[in-house]
A and B are shown apart, each in its own frame.
Chain A
Amino acid sequence: MTQPMTPALQIDGLNVYFGAPHESFHAVKNASFTVEKGASFGLVGESGSGKSTILKALTGLAPQWEGTMRVAGQQLGAKRDRRFYRSVQMVFQDPYASLHPRQSVDQVLSETLYLHGASNIDDRVNRLLEDVGLGSAFRFRYPHQLSGGQRQRVAIARALAPEPEILLLDEPTSALDVSVQAEILNLLSDLRAEHHLTYVMVSHDLAVVAHMCDQAAVMQNGEIVEILSIDAMRNGDARSDYTRQLLAASANRVA
Chain B
Amino acid sequence: MSQDTGTLRDWLLSETPTSRRQARWAAAYKGWLTLRANHMAMAGLAIIVLLVALALFAPWIAPHDPFVQDLGNRLQPLGSEGHILGTDSLGRDILSRLIWGARITLYIVALVALIAPIAGLLVGTVSGYAGGWVDVILMRITDIFLAFPRLVLALAFVAALGAGIENAVLAISLTAWPPYARMARAETLTIRSSDYISAIRLQGAGPLRIIVKHIWPLCISSLIVRVTLDMAGIILAAAGLGFLGLGAQPPSPEWGAMISEGRRFILDHWWVATMPGLAIFTVSLAFNLLGDGLRDVLDPKDSPQ
- A interface, CB within 8 angstroms of B: 59-61, 81-82, 85-86, 89-90, 92-94, 97-104, 106, 111-112, 115-116, 137-138, 140-142, 144-145, 155, 158, 161-162
Contact = CB atoms under 8 A, between A and B. Distances in A.
Contacts of A97: 194-196
Contacts of A81: 204
Contacts of B18: 140
Contact of B303 (A90, A112, A144): A144
B22 interface: yes
B106 to A, nearest CB: 29
B15 interface: yes
A61 B194 CA distance: 12
A255 to B, nearest CB: 34
Given A92-B195, A140-B18, A100 B202 contact: no
B196 A98 contact: yes
A141 B16 contact: yes
A141 B23 contact: yes
Given A97-B196, A100-B196, A144-B304, A137 B205 contact: no
Interface in B177-209: 194-196, 198-205
22 contacts: A60-B201, A85-B203, A90-B199, A90-B202, A92-B195, A92-B199, A97-B194, A99-B196, A100-B200, A100-B214, A100-B218, A102-B300, A106-B20, A115-B203, A115-B204, A115-B205, A137-B16, A140-B19, A140-B22, A142-B27, A144-B304, A161-B203
Contacts of A137: 16
Contact of A158 (B199, B204, B218): B199
Contact of B23 (A60, A82, A86, A104): A104
A82 B201 CA distance: 10
B9 interface: no
B7 interface: no
Main secondary structure of the interface of A (DSSP, over half): loop
Interface in B198-228: 198-205, 213-214, 217-218
A155 B204 contact: no
A145 B22 CA distance: 15
B14 to A, nearest CB: 10
The 3 A-B pairs of least Cβ separation, nearest first, read: A140-B23, A98-B195, A140-B17
Interface of B: 15-20, 22-23, 27, 194-196, 198-205, 213-214, 217-218, 300, 303-305
Contacts of B305: 144-145
Nearest to B14: A140
A81 B63 CA distance: 69
A98 B19 CA distance: 23
Given A137-B16, A145-B15, A101 B200 contact: no
A101 B218 contact: yes
Nearest to A115: B203
B204 A141 contact: no
Given A85-B203, A101-B303, A141 B17 contact: yes
A88 to B, nearest CB: 8
Contact of B218 (A61, A94, A102, A106): A102
Contacts of A85: 202-204
Given A85-B204, A92-B199, A158-B199, A101 B23 contact: no
Contacts of B205: 111, 115
A61 B198 contact: yes
A61 B196 contact: no
A129 B130 CA distance: 34
Contacts of B213: 111
A93 B195 CA distance: 9
Given A59-B202, A145-B305, 12 more contacts: A82-B204, A89-B202, A111-B213, A115-B203, A116-B203, A137-B16, A141-B17, A141-B23, A142-B23, A155-B199, A158-B199, A158-B203
A105 to B, nearest CB: 9
A126 to B, nearest CB: 12
Contacts of B300: 101-102
A116 B199 contact: no
B20 A111 contact: no
Interface centre among A61, A89, A100 (most CB of B within 10 A): A100
Contacts of B204: 81-82, 85-86, 115-116
A112 B23 contact: no
Contacts of A116: 203-204
Contacts of A161: 203
Nearest to B214: A100
Nearest to A56: B198
Contacts of B196: 97-101
